[in-house]
């Protein structure tokens, strides 16, 4: 069984680890898609602090991650098809954007699952960046 999840994975934190460990707990191989800077810029105000190759290297070092691959377009269907994804794990802010609906339809038609998880309540990369900015402004 192959479990696939995607994200920016900037400033790796406890919420990221919880998500990846959850993916591993589902059993099987965990594949992680890492958004390129250009993809992130298409839907977020702030670009990643950590370069793509380094974000991928950090993920590859984790015991709960088996495959790490970048993606350069905001679409998930091709990776799900190429990997043979059985379960696609997404965050609570998934939404109804066309690229999300496309992969949902693909997975449903293939008899595969989507599991939506809540974000970790204690932290996020955005919160970390805001804290750093506040600390820097005071210094």
Cα–Cα separations (whole angstroms), residue 72 to 47, 60, 89, 96, 128: 14, 18, 19, 20, 25
Whole-structure pTM value = 0.86
139 pLDDT higher than 90: no
So what's the pLDDT on residue 75?
A: 95
Structure-token pair, residue 113 = 């699952």
User: Over 80: is that where the pLDDT of 123 sits?
Assistant: no
Query: What are 44-75's pLDDT values in tens digits?
Result: 887 898 999 999 999 999 999 999 999 999 99
Cα gap 88→36, rounded to integer Å = 19
Query: Which tens digits make up the pLDDT trace of 67-104?
Result: 999 999 999 999 999 999 999 999 877 878 888 999 99
Domain boundaries, the chain: 2-138
Confidence of residue 126 (pLDDT cuts 50, 70, 90): low
CA 75 from chain center: how many Å? 13
Q: What is the pLDDT of residue 131?
A: 59
Q: What's the confidence (pLDDT) of residue 68? A: 98
Helices (H), the chain: 14-25, 37-41, 52-60, 77-83, 98-109, 125-138
Q: Specify the CATH number of the domain 2-138.
A: 3.40.50.620
């Amino acid at each position: 069984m192959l479990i696939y999840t995607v994200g920016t994975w900037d400033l790796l934190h406890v919420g990221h680890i919880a998500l990846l460990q959850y993916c591993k707990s589902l059993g099987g191989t965990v594949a992680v898609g890492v958004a390129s800077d250009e993809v992130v810029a298409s839907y977020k105000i702030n670009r990643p602090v950590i370069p793509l190759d380094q974000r991928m290297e950090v993920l590859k070092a984790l015991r709960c991650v088996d495959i790490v691959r970048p993606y350069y377009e905001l679409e998930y269907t091709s990776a799900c098809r190429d990997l043979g994804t059985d379960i696609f794990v997404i965050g609570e802010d998934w939404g109804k954007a066309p690229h999300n609906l496309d992969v949902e339809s693909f997975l449903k038609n293939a008899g595969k699952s989507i599991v939506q998880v809540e974000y970790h309540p204690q932290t996020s990369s955005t919160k970390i960046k805001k804290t750093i900015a506040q600390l820097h402004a005071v210094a």
